[in-house]
Amino acid sequence: MEKLETWWKNAVGYIIYPESFKDSNGDGIGDLNGITSKLDYLKDLGVNLLWICPIFKSPMDDNGYDVSDYYQINPEYGTNADFDNLIKQAHARGIHILIDFVLNHTSDQHAWFQKALKDPNSEERDYYFFRKGKKVGDKLLPPTNWKGFFATSAWEQVPGSDDFYMHIFSKSMPDVNWANPKLREQYYQIARYYLDHGVDGFRLDAVAHLAKDLSFEDSKAPADSNGLVYDTGKFSNRPELFDYLHLLKDNVFSHYDCLTVGEAGGNISPEQSLLMADRRNGSINMVFNFDTVWNNGAYGSIDKSDEEIKTDVISLKDNFMRWYGVCHKKADMPVYWCNHDHPRVLSQYGSIAYRNESAKMLLTTLLFLYGTPFIYNGDEIGMSNVNYTALEDFHSDVGNVNAVKELRGQGYPDEQILHYLNRVSRINARTPMQWDDSANAGFSPKGSINKVNDNYQDGVNVLDEMKDPYSILNFYQYAIGIRKDPIINDQVLHGEFTLVDHNHPDVFAYMHDGAEKIMVISNFRPYQVYFTFYFDIKDILLHNYEGVIISDHVFTLRPFESFLLKVR
């Protein structure tokens, strides 16, 4: 039976990157007790659903997405008892917890993989994809020409053998074989273990890639200079994936009152997402898509100048509308600007020259879209991209390290690569959370793996913003309160959503019909623009400027000016 209203229907989500959120014991690494110590802060902010990036034991080659033991909390983050305490304390404050469940791959240090490597006849060997390399003349090539997500071949040779294993991310993260029922059973057990320990659900990492093309044939799409082909069709959103997710649901999720949100990359379409998240016959509750990220041309933009990076507001609106159109009657949807895999939204769609205005504008635009909003930690104080001066500063992201090698190989000078990484690197989102203006922004006396952004000394920190009534932080708190108001929430989720002046190239404006119409109008530009408006304003619920400039049905919108209005 479909449940119409569940606990997460009025959730405002918040994404925590544990390594850089708060260090409680002074070793320079964020940890679970650090998160627990900030639960009151999060409660005051108004968020009530946390997605915590992976916390399992891990060699940290990909910052926890390489899991070596699912049943142990990463000792750098604390103990299993600390985790139980975090859950208990969060629940006591009405905050639910999703953990990041990495189920497409393990670490190469996981006991399964170690056994599989050592003994080709072991049961664990078939938990992974081992295949013979291709002999071409006297060369041994990988079994296929597939390229992975981290700028390398999707295969790594087993030392001393002509076997290779498959990894669509780093070579230290071998993909697991969901076609094997024993492997699947292992993951059911892990999921049950955490649900039994009180977690409220999962963010399902890289879930789009669980099913591979098991014929393991070369891709016919165009190859790069190394003869590799980036063809997500070989390992993303393939038909068997939807069966695997149904099995997960039948065996695990359906026995718990839990929320499951899949990360679906690999160019998933909204129609395909319904195969996962349709309320009537889907297997998980929601699907994160990537279509509203990078709508400024920054992805792969090494050859572009800063002037060429500009938010394409029409594409942003179209992408949202396309997902809304297909999904709203049938499925729930998360909405977000960015997460730990992207640069900071303020530097992408906003502007550090208009930090305060653009951060507030971005929040207003996001919060009232159809769906469950997820805020990324630090966005509530207007954290922005780094301005690092050396390529070594990006050492903690294996994807960046590989990209530097690849780009150098293509002849790019270091200076250009540096400029590019400052613009697009995931590290931008992984610098220490800025709590106050003491050393290292109050994250840890010891510094951290990623250098802190110096702007914590210029007021971009929680403590300073708490004191300022006009701060981004106080605006967030107020705006989230409005979003959770039951009448507004109902209207956002059930009122008919329409774009207003869809073709306006600079303004993102939309409306929800209902007993009272609510409307968002947001200028995405660092300059003044005009917006024609034929409604009567009944109330201004949110606004990031003083005063309103309107005459003859035309709004003059100042840089990044934004409203939430009640209109007639």
248 lines the binding site for Ca ion (CB under 5 A): no
Comparing every residue's Cβ against ligand GLC, the nearest one is: 65
β pairing state of 497-499 and 507-512: antiparallel
From 61, 156, 205, 379, active-site residue? 205
194 contacts ligand GLC (rule: CB under 6 A): no
Residues forming a β-bridge with 48: none
Distances in whole angstroms, Cα of residue 49 to Cα of each of 245, 292, 333, 420: 23, 22, 15, 33
**Among residues 31 and 108, whose Cβ is nearest to Ca ion?**
31
Q: How is residue 17 annotated by DSSP? A: -
Closer of 169 and 368 to ligand GLC (Cβ): 169
Helix (H) or strand (E) holding 18: none
Residue 205 contacts which entry, ligand GLC, Ca ion, none (Cβ below 5-8 A, type-dependent): ligand GLC
User: What is the distance between the alpha carbons of residues 106 and 167, in angstroms, rounded to a whole number?
Assistant: 10
CB of 441 or CB of 565, closer to Ca ion: 441
Q: Per residue in 203-242, is it b (16+ CB within 10 Å) or e — as a string?
A: bbbbbbbbbbbeeeebbeeeeeeeebbbbbebbbbbeebb
Residue found by looking up tokens 């490597």 in the block: 117
Report the residue from 21, 164, 169, 368 that binds ligand GLC according to the rule CB under 6 A: 169
Q: Which of 163, 175, 205, 332 binds ligand GLC (CB under 6 A)?
A: 205
Site string for ligand GLC, 500-539 (x = CB under 6 A): ----------------------------------------
> Which tokens sit at 259?
């929320």
What tokens were used for 372? Answer: 């469950």
104 versus 491: smaller Cβ distance to ligand GLC: 104
| Residue 496, CA distances (Å) to 81, 367, 413, 485, 488 in order | 46, 16, 51, 18, 13
Q: How far apart are CA 289 and CA 263, in angstroms?
A: 7
Residue with tokens 């891990």: 58
Does 380 interact with ligand GLC (rule: CB under 6 A)? no
What is the SS3 assignment for 510?
Answer: strand
**60 is a contact residue toward Ca ion (CB under 5 A):** no
Q: Are 171 and 204 in contact (CB under 8 A)?
A: no
- Number of residues counted as binding Ca ion (CB under 5 A): 5
The three-class DSSP label of residue 294 is: coil
Is 61 tagged catalytic?
no
Is residue 31 part of the contact set for Ca ion (CB under 5 A)?
A: yes
Q: How far is the CB of 448 from Ca ion (least distance, A)?
A: 10
Three-class secondary structure of residue 6 per DSSP: coil
By CB under 6 A, residue 102 contacts ligand GLC: yes
Candidates 18-26, 134-142, 272-280, 322-330: pick the segment binding Ca ion (CB under 5 A).
18-26
- 341 interacts with, out of Ca ion, ligand GLC, none, CB within 5 to 8 A per kind: ligand GLC
- The residues in 3-62 that bind ligand GLC, with binding defined as CB under 6 A, are 62
By CB under 5 A, residue 433 contacts Ca ion: no
Look at residues 298, 301, 337 and name the one whose alpha carbon lies nearest to residue 316.
337
- Is 308 catalytic? The answer is no
Gap between the Cα atoms of 529 and 203, Å rounded: 39
Per DSSP, helices labelled H in 199-260 are 239-251
x/- track of binding to ligand GLC for residues 312-341 (CB under 6 A): ----------------------------xx
**Distance of closest approach, residue 24 Cβ to Ca ion, in angstroms:** 6
Residues forming the active site: 205, 263
Chain residues that interact with Ca ion, rule: CB under 5 A: 23, 25, 27, 29, 31
Contact residues for ligand GLC, defined by CB under 6 A = 62, 65, 102, 169, 205-206, 263, 340-341
